[in-house]
Amino acid sequence: NKRYTIAVLPGDGVGNEVIPVAVDALRLAGSLEGLDLRFEELLIGGVALELVGVPLPEETLRKAKQSDAVLLGAVGWHVLIIVDFFFFFDKQPKWDNSPKHLKPITALLQLRAGLEVFSNLRPITVFPQLVDSTYLRKDTAEGVDIMIIRELTGGIYNAHPRGFTTNEQGDEVGFCTESYSASEVNHIARVAFDIAKQRRSKLCSVDKATILEGSMLWRKRVTAMALEYPEVEVSHLLIDTAAMDLVRYPRQFDTILTGVMFGDILSDLAAMIPGSVGLLPSAASDRLQGPGIFEPVHGSAPKHYGKDTVNPLAAVLSAAMLFRYGLKEENAAQRIEKAVSDVLDRGFRTRDIHTPGATLVGCKRMGEEILRSLDARVSVS
Ligand code: IPM
Ligand code: MN
């Protein structure tokens, strides 16, 4: 049997509800494929701040580095979460006024940097069973299948110089730098071309090359690399136009390549095509050797925590990505994806994707039904 160690970092809030469901799915799908998976649970985020005093304990980073893949829940009370057709902006009640290195979300940036996971894969797919959940017109959303590839460890989030200062007028200034080097662009563009080639061979690179120097270089490098991939049809869009087109006619997109900040915004925008962040998985990886980070795109959602109502499918689909991109166990990945589709066929829906006539279930029950879809011998309470 092939053996793998998976670092499990449930983190804060609903991470503690969805990650156990994803672990069960990994364990069962893995055992059906004859894999021997070991899980090691580690602290991160607000819970780590409380117990250890730092958002990313040294032990967590060390063991994550030694693992074959990292399964992450959510960190901090920080992310915009959308459930039930209402928007909730979570305040950061507890760590709002802490210095940056003591904020829960810093753990996320430190973990990404520590594992050098520079490519962030965020698939946006509209399941045929869930086409009614879209915020767009149904005929606009139908059949959408997009892979957003977002650069993750460079750009405006990470580049230097950055900080706070005072200008000549004595005015306080906060600043950071939007920069990309040729090797950073080459790195991420290579990932995008290779993935586009395995999909429908259409790559759209999104930038702001009319204004930003980093974007000018970005566009130049992507254009140059396109010569190596004659089979891939390449286009370039400015971020503003891309945002518009993603809503107007999303089916035109196959693979989207973009930087850290535009990718952050576009992926939340695109989340409204399937209609719930509760459906969106993600993978962050390094194309060489190190372990990747697999996590649902939704955040810790404190308002929903403890009610057993959230959707575990984003976490479960992240588990599928963990098998596919992290462990290169494609069969196990497909088992999970088929089980998700089967659960939807059998009519089970959590609140965020519920429609009349479907069976409304909570997070735990959804998890049990996924296990049953993975293996009919599993008994469900
Ligand atoms: C995301 C989040 C993070 C990001 C934040 C919390 C740092 O919004 O994963 O999309 O912007 O990368
Ligand atoms: Mn985001």
> Residue 78 in 3-state DSSP?
coil
Mean pLDDT of 28-48: 97
Mark whether 214 and 330 lie in a shared domain. Answer: no
pLDDT tens sequence across 62-117: 999 999 999 999 998 643 333 434 444 444 456 777 888 888 889 999 999 999 99
Mark whether 114 and 17 lie in a shared domain. Answer: yes
Clarify whether 264 is annotated catalytic.
yes
Distance 342 CA to ligand 1 centre (A): 30
Q: What is the pLDDT of residue 314?
A: 98
Pull the structure tokens for residue 371. Answer: 């296990």
pLDDT tens sequence across 326-348: 999 999 999 999 999 999 999 99
Q: Tell me if ipTM is over 0.85.
A: yes
Tell me, yes or no, whether 28 lies in a domain.
yes
Mean pLDDT of 13-40: 98
* Rounded distance between C-alpha atoms, residue 155 and residue 178, angstroms: 5
Mean pLDDT of 372-381: 85
Q: What is the pLDDT of residue 381?
A: 59
Mark whether 190 and 250 lie in a shared domain. Answer: yes
280 lines ligand 1 (CB under 6 A): no
Q: Find the helix packing angle between 104-115 and 58-66, rounded to 10°.
A: 40
Mark whether 117 and 23 lie in a shared domain. Answer: yes
**Which residue, of 272, 287, 308, is where some domain finishes?**
272
Order the strands of the 293-296 sheet from edge to edge: 35-41, 2-11, 69-74, 293-296, 281-285, 119-125, 145-151, 255-258, 202-207, 233-238
**Which residue, of 230, 253, 272, is where some domain finishes?**
272
- Ligand 1 closest atom vs CA 76: 6
Mark whether 267 and 281 lie in a shared domain. Answer: no
0.90 cut: is pTM over it? yes
Mark whether 155 and 225 lie in a shared domain. Answer: yes
Q: What is the pLDDT of residue 288?
A: 65
Distance 5 CA to ligand 2 centre (A): 28
Q: What is the pLDDT of residue 85?
A: 40
105 lines ligand 1 (CB under 6 A): yes
Whichever domain contains 328, its CATH number is 3.40.718.10
Write the residue with the smallest CA distance to atom 1 of ligand 1.
264
Tell me, yes or no, whether 300 lies in a domain.
yes
* Rounded distance between C-alpha atoms, residue 184 and residue 287, angstroms: 13
Distance 150 CA to ligand 1 centre (A): 11
Q: What is the pLDDT of residue 378?
A: 84
* Rounded distance between C-alpha atoms, residue 322 and residue 330, angstroms: 10
- Ligand 1 closest atom vs CA 109: 7
Write the residue with the smallest CA distance to atom 3 of ligand 1.
264
Mark whether 285 and 261 lie in a shared domain. Answer: no
**Which band of pLDDT confidence, cut at 50, 70 and 90, is reported for residue 146?**
very high
**Which residue, of 253, 272, 291, is where some domain finishes?**
272
Mark whether 115 and 213 lie in a shared domain. Answer: no
Lowest-confidence region among 8-22, 99-113, 257-271, 339-353: 99-113
Mean pLDDT of 257-272: 96
Q: What is the pLDDT of residue 286?
A: 85
Tell me, yes or no, whether 49 lies in a domain.
yes
Greater confidence (80 vs 218) lies with 218
pLDDT tens sequence across 40-66: 999 999 999 989 999 999 999 999 999
Asked whether the predicted pLDDT for residue 278 surpasses 60, the reply is yes
Judge residue 48's burial from the number of C-beta atoms within 10 Å of its C-beta, 0-12 exposed, 13-18 middle, 19 or more buried.
buried
Q: Taking all residues of the chain, what is their mean pLDDT, rounded to a whole number?
A: 93
The parent domain of residue 157 ranges over: 145-272
* Rounded distance between C-alpha atoms, residue 234 and residue 57, angstroms: 42
How many percent of the chain have pLDDT more than 90? 87
Mark whether 239 and 347 lie in a shared domain. Answer: no
